[in-house]
């Protein structure tokens, strides 16, 4: 049966060479498309994992809020009642560039003082902001920092403003410093992320008095 099939295929191929070539090419293109889609999906999944890892850091547990977030008094209570366990308040929301509604960014609001034990990206925030006066980052209205790659992709230089679309309406932020990633992994993880002081993020997002989550670092077994 297989010999008969080979003969039939060979005869058809010799009589219709163009159709045979097109058939083989069609199969090859189909396989290439499937592989390309798989690679693109794997790449997107990996990028998301790296970003999540960079933003969640070493946290072992999280206190999560619902759609309306958490009352920041919960964080104050944790710090007061369990001071031995590191805790960090976090605001994380997706925002859109007003001049390009197809461009989304992640706005991450953090407390630089509490961040040290959690995210390697923010260890020694003073140093990684490239000599920026930390007071500017903490007190200037709308102050954000980003990696050079993210800033370059937005066409932003230090001192320039960016208009964002948030759930609270249009908000203007200003790039006050650059964070230099320590390695390629961290660079990918912080891609398209704007980092702000917690109170700045609350103001930009209209989240005064609220948090997205509280990251905790607890000993094994707790």
Instruction: State whether 37 and 67 are in the same domain.
Output: no
Q: Rounded mean pLDDT of 6-19?
A: 59
Say if residue 86 is in the same domain as residue 9: no
pLDDT of 116: 64
Shared domain for 25 and 85, answered yes or no, is: no
Residues 44 and 144 in one domain: no
Domain presence at residue 221: no
Whether 27 and 124 share a structural domain? no
Inter-residue contact 187 to 169 (CB < 8 Å): no
Q: Do 42 and 145 sit in the same domain of this protein?
A: no
Last-in-domain residue among 11, 31, 48: 48
Q: Are residues 33 and 67 in the same domain?
A: no
Q: Is the pLDDT of residue 58 over 90?
A: no
153 within some domain:
yes
In a domain, 121, yes or no: yes
Q: Which of 119-123, 135-139, 169-173 has the lowest mean pLDDT?
A: 119-123
- Residue 167 has what pLDDT? 85
**Residue with more model confidence, 25 or 157:** 157
Residues 33 and 61 in one domain: no
Token output for 99 = 């001049």
pLDDT at 163 over 90: yes
Judge whether 222 lies within some domain: no
Domain extent for 139: 57-216
Same domain as 126, residue 89: yes
Query: Are 63 and 163 part of one and the same domain?
Result: yes
Query: Global pTM?
Result: 0.70
List all residues 6 or more positions away from 110 whose beta carbon is below 8 Å from its beta carbon: 88, 89, 90, 91, 119, 122, 195, 196, 197, 198, 201
Tell me how far apart the alpha carbons of residues 154 and 145 are, in angstroms, rounded to a whole number: 12
- Do 137 and 193 fall into the same domain? yes
Residue of 131, 110, 116, 124 lying closest to 178 (CA atoms): 131
The pLDDT of residue 10: 56
pLDDT greater at residue 5 or residue 171:
171
Distances (CA, A) of 192 to 104, 146, 220: 8, 8, 33
- Count the domains in the chain: 2
């Amino acid at each position: 049966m297989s010999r008969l099939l080979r003969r039939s295929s060979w005869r058809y191929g010799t009589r219709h060479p163009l159709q045979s070539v097109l058939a083989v090419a069609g199969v090859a293109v189909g396989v290439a498309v499937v592989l390309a889609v798989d690679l693109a999906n794997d790449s997107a999944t990996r990028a998301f994992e790296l970003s999540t890892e960079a933003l969640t850091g070493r946290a072992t547990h999280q206190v999560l809020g619902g759609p309306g977030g958490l009352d920041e008094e919960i964080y104050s209570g944790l710090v007061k009642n369990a001071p031995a366990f590191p805790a960090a308040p976090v605001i994380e929301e997706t925002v859109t560039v007003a001049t390009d509604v197809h461009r989304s960014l992640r706005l991450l609001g953090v407390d630089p003082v509490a961040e040290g034990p959690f995210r390697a990206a923010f260890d020694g925030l003073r140093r990684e902001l490239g000599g920026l006066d930390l007071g500017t980052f903490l007190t200037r209205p709308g102050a954000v920092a980003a990696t050079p790659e993210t800033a370059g992709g937005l066409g932003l230089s230090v001192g320039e403003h960016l208009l964002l679309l948030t759930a609270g309406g249009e908000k203007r932020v200003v790039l006050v410093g650059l964070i230099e990633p320590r390695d390629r992994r961290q660079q990918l993880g912080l891609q398209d992320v704007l980092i702000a002081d917690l109170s700045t993020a609350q103001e930009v997002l209209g989240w005064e008095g609220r948090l997205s989550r509280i990251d905790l670092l607890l000993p094994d077994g707790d």
